[in-house]
Amino acid sequence: MHEFSIAVDIVDIATSSARKEAASVVKEIEIEVGQLSGVVMEALAFSLEAAVKGTMLEKARRNLIIIPGKARCTSCGHEFDTDTLYTPCPACQALAPEIIQGRELRVKSLIVE
């Protein structure tokens, strides 16, 4: 389950950012996770619950936002929604689309005190 190491990294990033702002507590954290990132949302939520224990994020509200997958056909340029990395273009049926959205994994925002 690589989600736990991701959760630990998220806590480290948030803690570092909060300390740069001279904050003592994180009230809220917003995390964007792409649908095509390979991260299992339920596992990440569970892992975050464990990873924040004893940190300045322990009581923070955690908002996990799913970023839907989008692709662009490398043959015809058509953009379309996708939930896999290998969806054929619905316009021309070409394979190997360019993924333009959905691989994200980032801390989008923090509210600190």
Instruction: Report the C-alpha gap between 105 and 9 in whole angstroms.
Output: 11
User: What is the count of structural domains for the chain?
Assistant: 1
pLDDT value of position 1: 60
Annotate 47-83 with DSSP letters as a single string.
Answer: HHHHHTTTSTTTT-EEEEEEEPPEEE-TTT--EEE-S
Q: Which domain holds residue 57?
A: 3-112
Structure confidence by residue, pLDDT tens digits, 25-82: 999 999 999 999 999 999 999 999 999 999 999 999 999 999 999 999 999 999 999 9
What's the CATH number where 80 sits? Answer: 3.30.2320.80
**pTM, whole model, 2 decimals?**
0.89
Q: Are 34 and 102 in contact (CB under 8 A)?
A: yes
Residue 96's pLDDT band (cuts 50, 70, 90): confident
Q: What average pLDDT does range 85-92 have in this prediction?
A: 96
